[in-house]
């Protein structure tokens, strides 16, 4: 694997980021960090979608320019992702000058190729979706199913993209590449949508929408969302219709594009059609994740249950975002909906990160200090010495096998499932400690056996720190520091022996890697 390029959907900046936005960015960041453990060149793109009628109207209501509104809200997204340790390569804004110029060139090329034509149109337009809707897609009351508002009848002369021209090619691609759309059960949904597909409007009259990218050679039209927003995935790499950059040639096609299930149609039909019209290869995978509900209810401003991701960090006084990242990344099986609740968050992160994983490392290192003054001796390595404690080699083999299982999960974008594999390994290791009771071995003066148990656990903890790193980078670094383990080791280079012989740690150096969120030590007000 010489490179790995992944993208998120770009977020509309009509408001501030919420927990649903955070879910997608955390998922993608976890994927990016995992593949950085297998590949030296990972490019992670995210950003904001900044044109359209909603931004135009909101800015007017605030008495500011659309660009000022975009600047203000784009910064809120950047600040949120920084707080969540989202380590993107580029944050693209559709108001970026390089993006605007390339989009105009793309639009012109598609016109020159005969893929865009001008036509009068009357349709039902939902400003919330920024989309024209088919009457059959409305509710029984004639409302948009997502925004529960009646779309307005819009009559305009617009430019249209010949989506129908690429219908058969897209159907063929989906059927011949069953892993193009992930999870695969979404593919049938897309194939059904393709049956009634029509050409799509790709511009708006400036009499209705002024805030957009100008169509070259037509001062009365603004480029509409699809060619503008969707093209960010290639404009960010320096795509040009004449001479694409070396960066574009290196990274495209994307290895995976992570999106919400509600915009799957646009990414699995509209976007492939635009790429085909440009003569470009399609992304390898479109991964459509589910939604996050709040206490089993859909997020809604009217209900008042929209949660800011940083508010969770603040309310639980978390020093770093690892607990929230872990919880969100493991919130739902691949492609399914998940749920957030304060009680479940507290219960899961305490159980998995504090009680099971953190306590396992802490007590093992404490026993190494107590019985061996923090020293790991040559005879403690079961892989190159006689196995004195039954099950030690088996545990090490299980840990190495988990690496392959986790890699397979990530290859299929099963992020929560990968988290479960890691949790299972922690549970197996805890059972190994209980079964072999190193404290009893020490009491019976079976010191080599005791040392073998502790060293075997610490070897496994090195592997666990590597596997948990994409989810919990700060916790993983703390674990690796106490283990004197090089966390930059690629997953394929992990072995039975990651611990070095000699003095490992002193009593003063042992620190809990994660405090229970309801403990007095975790509550800064009680320190």
Residue 144 a catalytic site member:
yes
Residue 298 a catalytic site member:
yes
Strand 42-49 and strand 90-93: the pairing is parallel
Cβ neighbours, 10 Å, residue 409:
20
Dist. CA 18–CA 108, nearest whole Å:
36
Its sign, for the CA torsion 229, 232, 235, 239, is: negative
Residue 141 is predicted with a pLDDT of: 83
Residue 18 a catalytic site member:
yes
Its sign, for the CA torsion 377, 378, 381, 386, is: negative
Non-local CB neighbours of 181 within 8 Å, separated by 6+ positions: 174, 187, 190, 264, 268, 285, 286, 288
Residue 519 is predicted with a pLDDT of: 56
Helices 473-483, 322-329: crossing angle, 10 deg rounding: 120
Dist. CA 308–CA 326, nearest whole Å:
17
Note the helical H segments in 113-198.
Answer: 167-176, 185-195
Dist. CA 48–CA 13, nearest whole Å:
6
Residue 126 a catalytic site member:
yes
Q: Is residue 103 a contact partner of residue 235, using CB atoms and an 8 Å limit?
A: yes
The one catalytic residue among 67, 82, 147, 175 = 147
Q: Is residue 42 a contact partner of residue 28, using CB atoms and an 8 Å limit?
A: no
**DSSP label at residue 488:** T
Task: Point out which residues pair with 124 in neighbouring strands.
Answer: 133, 153
Q: pLDDT tens, 445-472?
A: 999 999 999 999 999 999 999 999 999 9
Token pair, residue 45, equals: 């793109």
Non-local CB neighbours of 15 within 8 Å, separated by 6+ positions: 73
The one catalytic residue among 54, 129, 348, 377 = 129
The one catalytic residue among 34, 51, 126, 289 = 126
Dist. CA 230–CA 273, nearest whole Å:
11
Continuous segment of H or E residues that includes residue 216: none
The one catalytic residue among 298, 431, 490, 511 = 298
Which residue from 249, 192, 273, 231 is spatially nearest to 106, judged by alpha carbons? 231
Q: Which CATH class is domain 342-526?
A: mainly alpha
Task: Please count the residues of the chain.
Answer: 527
Residue 129 a catalytic site member:
yes
Burial of 21 (0-12, 13-18, 19+ CB in 10 A): buried
Residue 133 is predicted with a pLDDT of: 80
Which residue from 271, 273, 281 is spatially nearest to 165, judged by alpha carbons? 273
Dist. CA 76–CA 55, nearest whole Å:
15
Q: Which parts of the chain have pLDDT scores under 70?
A: 130, 300-303, 519-527
Cβ neighbours, 10 Å, residue 40:
10
Dist. CA 264–CA 189, nearest whole Å:
9
**What are the structural domain ranges in the chain?**
342-526
Helices 66-83, 19-36: crossing angle, 10 deg rounding: 60
The one catalytic residue among 301, 386, 526, 527 = 301
Dist. CA 140–CA 438, nearest whole Å:
67
Residue 125 is predicted with a pLDDT of: 80
Non-local CB neighbours of 211 within 8 Å, separated by 6+ positions: 51, 52, 53, 55, 56, 59, 66, 222
511 phi, psi to nearest 5 deg: -130, 145
Residue whose pair of structure tokens reads 């511009």 in the numeric block: 203
The one catalytic residue among 21, 34, 285, 352 = 21
Residue 360 is predicted with a pLDDT of: 98
The one catalytic residue among 18, 25, 285, 352 = 18
């Amino acid at each position: 694997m010489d490179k790995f390029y992944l993208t998120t959907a770009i977020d509309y900046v009509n408001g501030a980021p919420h927990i649903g936005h955070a879910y997608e960015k955390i998922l993608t960041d976890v994927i990016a960090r995992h593949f950085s453990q297998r590949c030296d060149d990972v490019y992670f793109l995210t950003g904001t979608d900044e044109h359209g009628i909603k931004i135009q109207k909101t800015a007017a209501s605030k008495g500011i320019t659309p660009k000022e509104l975009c600047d203000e809200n784009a910064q809120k997204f950047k600040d949120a992702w920084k707080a969540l340790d989202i380590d993107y390569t580029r944050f693209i804004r559709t108001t970026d000058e390089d993006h605007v110029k390339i989009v105009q060139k793309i639009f012109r090329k598609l016109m020159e190729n005969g893929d865009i034509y001008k036509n009068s149109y009357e349709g039902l337009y939902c400003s919330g979706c920024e989309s024209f809707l088919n009457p059959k897609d409305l509710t029984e009351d004639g409302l948009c199913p997502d925004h529960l508002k009646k779309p307005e009848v819009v009559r305009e002369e617009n430019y249209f993209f010949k989506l129908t021209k690429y219908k058969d090619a897209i159907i063929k691609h989906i059927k011949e590449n069953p892993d193009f759309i992930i999870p695969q059960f979404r593919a049938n949904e897309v194939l059904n949508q393709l049956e009634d597909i029509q050409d799509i409007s790709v511009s708006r009259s400036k009499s209705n929408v002024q805030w957009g990218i100008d169509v070259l050679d037509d001062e009365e039209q603004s480029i509409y969302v699809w060619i503008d927003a969707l093209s960010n995935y290639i404009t960010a790499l320096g795509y040009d219709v004449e001479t694409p950059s070396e960066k574009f040639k290196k990274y495209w096609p994307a290895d995976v594009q992570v999106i919400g299930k509600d915009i799957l149609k646009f990414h699995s039909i509209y976007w492939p059609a635009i790429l085909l019209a440009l003569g470009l290869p399609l992304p390898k995978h479109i991964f459509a994740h589910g939604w996050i509900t709040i206490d089993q209810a859909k997020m809604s401003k009217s209900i008042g249950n929209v949660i800011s991701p940083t508010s969770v960090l603040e309310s639980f006084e978390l020093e770093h975002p690892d607990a929230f990242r872990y919880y969100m990344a493991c919130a739902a099986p691949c492609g399914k909906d998940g749920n957030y609740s304060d009680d479940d968050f507290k219960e899961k992160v305490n159980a998995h990160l504090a009680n099971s994983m953190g306590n396992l490392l802490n007590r093992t290192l404490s026993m190494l200090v107590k019985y061996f003054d923090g020293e790991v001796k040559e005879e403690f390595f079961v892989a190159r010495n006689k196995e004195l404690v039954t099950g030690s080699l088996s545990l090490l083999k299980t840990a190495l096998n988990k690496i392959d299982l986790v890699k397979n999960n990530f290859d299929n974008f099963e992020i929560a499932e990968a988290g479960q594999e890691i949790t299972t390994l922690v549970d197996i290791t805890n059972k190994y400690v209980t079964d072999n009771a190193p404290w009893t071995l020490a009491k019976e003066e079976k010191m080599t056996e005791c040392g073998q148990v502790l060293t075997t656990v610490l070897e496994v903890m090195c592997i666990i720190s590597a596997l948990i790193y994409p989810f919990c980078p700060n916790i993983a670094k703390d674990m690796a520091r106490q283990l004197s383990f090089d966390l930059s080791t690629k997953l394929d280079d992990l072995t039975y022996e990651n611990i070095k012989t000699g003095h490992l740690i002193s009593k003063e150096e042992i620190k809990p890697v994660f405090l229970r969120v309801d403990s007095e030590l975790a509550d800064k007000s009680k320190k």
